[in-house]
Chains A and B, each alone.
Chain A
Amino acid sequence: MSNDLYHEQIIERAKRSDNNIRLENPDCSATVSNPLCGDRITVELKMEGDVIKAISGPVKGCVLCKASASILAEIAVGMKCDELKSMASDLGQALKSQADNNESFPKAYRMFYPVKKHKSRHSCVMLPLEGALKAISECKGHSGDK
């Protein structure tokens, strides 16, 4: 994989993401933003107990943010809240780690390995996950914090 921050895989992923699909009657939603650059994401979820059944929402962000949101939309369906929480934690740790390979990254997010050395851009990758976790925490009846 290229060590360029904006390598083809990330750019293509961002370009093909559809960032404006809204869910009808979501069970919960949350909006998160990065005041530094103006990125803003609304994450809408449909839940069945602790399991995410659908995820969507508008993304106004940079390439990294859009690509990250696109991956999340693809892999979150069917995940339990705790699994998502754990994956977000792993990704956050991997971005901060000193390792010189991408093995500590959750598999779906390994394309973001070059972001590791750009500390100011970590929040761009994390924002969609933070939005999803915030939406879960605001979802009545979930047990995401158990």
Chain B
Amino acid sequence: MAFDPGLAAVDFTILRSQAREEELHYLDNAAMALIPDCVINAMVEHDTLRRSNVKRGSHRLAEEATEAFEKARAAVADYLGVSDPDEVVFTGGATAGINILAHSLGLMFERNDEVLISQLEHHSNIIPWQVIQQRQGIKVRYLPVTPDGRINLERAEDMIKSRTRIVSVTHGSNVTGAITDARTLSGLVHDRGAFLILDGAQTAPGGPMDLPALGADFYVFSGHKVYGPTGVGILWGRKEILKNMPPALGGGEMIQDVGLEKSTFLDPPHRFEAGTPPVTQAIGLAAAVKWLAAKDVKGMRGHLRRLTLRIMEGLTQLSGGIKILGPETGMERIPLVSFCVEGLHPHDICQVMNDRHGVALRGGFHCAQPLHDFLKIDGTTRASLAIYNNDNDVDALLNGMEDCMKILG
């Protein structure tokens, strides 16, 4: 039976027509997915009935909150397909996860060690390494991008040197939609004795995964893109590496013993969770991944592939010089399409599409300015899909774009 996005959409108050006065075709999911009612309810229930700090109290509420928090960790481990929940660190989001890695692993670097990232990266996977570069004199180098917006893995073999300690790349580009062949890359990285970090912000929403099969050493993602709340994310790391890493942040909840001169730290994951963690948000994130895993994920993936293809073909058929970024139709990509319209500014397109057609898009650099510089484009307009999007949303996008080009062209 064909996948029915309506069966997911009913779980979202914001998508039920009575909740809004205006039409909404939400196609900005790569920035933030909408949140289903069950996730909100899980957080409300937790804060209503079990609110307490975790890992530090012996009273009933503290015990219950701690148990709920650790169950949330186990739920995320299940979603990622990893057997040990202690490899799952709660963070503030994907950005925080990469920063923790940069600052912790950075302490293990020597001058002139290298970190290899790519021109395809979101700023969150560029800036943390530049900070370490400035602080410690390491080198940050960039894997080139192919003209169709993929990381050029053919260059990886040459570029991963003996001084390369880390290769940190996007698993799925938030601009071009290209998916990185992690398995191939991990072979090259491990052959040189380096670690592979995958930024999974855009691939984690694709449903439960077999993370060990990707061959990465670390994987980060954000709660708000997987139908969860803001302010929470995950850093997954292989335990044998995590246990040898120094903490990036210090504070309560991550210590074993504190002295005036020296302190010792807990084992992972707690070593990397300084201070009160985002308890309620972690409960929400667990509810979100459980909600998604219970859906027809295989059907969802096929449905989103079909809608993505419809958008690509539909935009191509519009006259007016639309250029679509990323892999051609037929090649694998995450469900998003970024495009440029000759002579039109992305912000103008987004505004008209919102005001006249109720279509929520994103325009600009998408926090990937080096990629836009490389592609010599001033910005793009992006439509990104999620489980509740349907053919009406695609129709609204394509019809709206035709109207938009008439008005602004």
Contacts and interface: CB of A to CB of B under 8 A. Distances in A.
Interface of A: 4-6, 11, 35-39, 60-63, 118, 121, 124
Given A36-B364, A37-B347, A62-B347, A4 B379 contact: no
The 7 residue pairs across chains A and B that have the minimum distance between CB atoms: A62-B345, A38-B379, A62-B347, A37-B364, A38-B378, A63-B348, A62-B348
A61 B378 CA distance: 9
A11 B379 CA distance: 20
Interface in B196-220: none
B278 interface: no
A36 to B, nearest CB: 6
A131 B408 CA distance: 25
Interface string B87-131: 000000000000000000000000000000000000000000000
Interface in B347-373: 347-348, 351-352, 355, 363-365, 369, 372
A5 B354 CA distance: 11
Given A6-B351, A124-B347, 20 more contacts: A5-B355, A6-B348, A6-B355, A6-B407, A6-B408, A11-B407, A35-B365, A35-B369, A36-B365, A37-B346, A37-B364, A37-B365, A38-B364, A38-B379, A39-B345, A60-B378, A62-B348, A63-B408, A118-B351, A121-B351
Residue of A11, A38, A121 with most chain B CB atoms under a 10 A cut-off: A38
A133 B372 CA distance: 29
Interface string B180-192: 0000000000000
Contact of A61 (B345, B365, B372, B408): B345
Interface of B: 345-348, 351-352, 355, 363-365, 369, 372, 378-379, 407-408
A62 B363 CA distance: 11
A144 to B, nearest CB: 30
Contacts of A38: 364-365, 372, 378-379
A84 to B, nearest CB: 25
Contacts of B352: 6
A4 B379 CA distance: 24
Given A37-B345, A37-B363, A38-B364, A5 B351 contact: yes
Nearest to B372: A38
Nearest to A65: B345
Nearest to B379: A38
